[in-house]
Amino acid sequence: MQFFGGSEISPSPPVPTASGNNAHMMYVFNRNGVCLLYREWNRPLRTLNPQQDHKLMFGLLFSLKSLTAKMDPTTADRGNLGVPQLPGQGCSFHSFRTNTYKLTFMETPSGLKIILVTHPRTGDLRESLNHIYNLYVDYVVKNPLYSPGTPIR
């Protein structure tokens, strides 16, 4: 009786081919939790309406960040759980993986959060997020008609 053989309990979906689109969706939040940009490419499952979905995503990231700040095993002074922290303060995280998707997260010093949701087998996407941030700086922040805190158009 081989209970834990080669097969996984929760098999992940098949690996897409190189030509396929790996990205599911992308979010950009500002420091106040306003969703500046939302794009989706491949999202078969939708359980919530967009507003609730954005709120839940922001809440998940916020809480995961306070969790990692509290759990950080390399420092002794970690503060209290749930106390809001400035961007760059405390231990943050850069990605997590489930059996159906992988979420990569970046927070800039100004508190902008960029989130990419992709296939679980994709590699390290921090470079891509940096590239997206550069695009944001070049084409959004430098746009004189853009007023900060409003959705990007």
Partner 1 sequence: MAAIYSLYIINKSGGLIFYKDYGSAGRMDTNDSLRVASLWHSMHAISQQLSPVSGCSGIELLQADSFDLHCFQSLTGTKFFVVCEPGTQHMEGLLKFIYELYTDYVLKNPFYEMEMPIRCELFDINLTQAVQKDRNPSSSIWWVVGSPYCASAQDGADSDEDDHQQSRKHGRKELRN
Contact positions vs partner 1 (CB under 8 A)? 1-2, 4-6, 9-10, 13, 24-25, 40, 42-45, 47-48, 53, 56-57, 59-60, 63-64, 66-68, 70-78, 81, 91-101, 103, 117
Cβ proximity to partner 1, 36 vs 66, nearer residue: 66
Token pair for residue 1?
A: 């009786």
Q: How many residues appear in the chain?
A: 153
Cβ proximity to partner 1, 100 vs 143, nearer residue: 100
Task: Give the three-state DSSP class for 133.
Answer: helix
Q: H or E segment at 102?
A: strand 102-107
End-to-end CA distance of the chain: 58
Least CB distance from residue 1 to partner 1, whole Å? 6
Least CB distance from residue 83 to partner 1, whole Å? 12
The DSSP symbol for 41 reads S
Cβ proximity to partner 1, 40 vs 140, nearer residue: 40
Residue 27 CA to residue 120 CA, distance in Å, equals 17
